[in-house]
Amino acid sequence: AQSVTQLGSHVSVSEGALVLLRCNYSSSVPPYLFWYVQYPNQGLQLLLKYTTGATLVKGINGFEAEFKKSETSFHLTKPSAHMSDAAEYFCAVTRTDSSYKLIFGSGTRLLVRP
């Protein structure tokens, strides 16, 4: 069965500091991997995705993530945090041989200190 683990339910950084949100996945087949962001009282917005090809993927708002098969990881990074980045971030995996339903991690709430 597929699963996603997000280390750290809360991450706090200072404005301008590096953002690192961790995601590890488990999948018996090549996965598609996604990061979504959820701002308060809003829906989920796709930040970036990995399907095939280049393992370093760039997304919106300056975020990027690197697919590391050997480590089964897909960590999300941003060089410099902005106050507007404060939100909850979800890593998700989907199998490429099924209905493509998303399996989500438990989420990481990012707090940005001024």
Query: What is the smallest separation between the CB atom of 51 and other proteins, expressed in angstroms?
Result: 5
Rg (CA), the chain: 14
Task: Name which of 31 and 81 has its Cβ closer to other proteins.
Answer: 31
Contacts of 1 (CB under 8 A, 6+ apart): 26
Contacts of 83 (CB under 8 A, 6+ apart): 15, 112, 114
Contacts of other proteins in 80-109 (CB under 8 A) = 90, 94, 98-107
Query: What is the smallest separation between the CB atom of 3 and other proteins, expressed in angstroms?
Result: 12
Distance CA 17, CA 86 (A): 13
| Among residues 43, 53, 54, 83, the one that binds other proteins under rule CB under 8 A | 43
| Among residues 21, 25, 36, 65, the one that binds other proteins under rule CB under 8 A | 36
Contact residues for other proteins, defined by CB under 8 A:
32, 34, 36, 42-46, 49, 51, 90, 94, 98-107
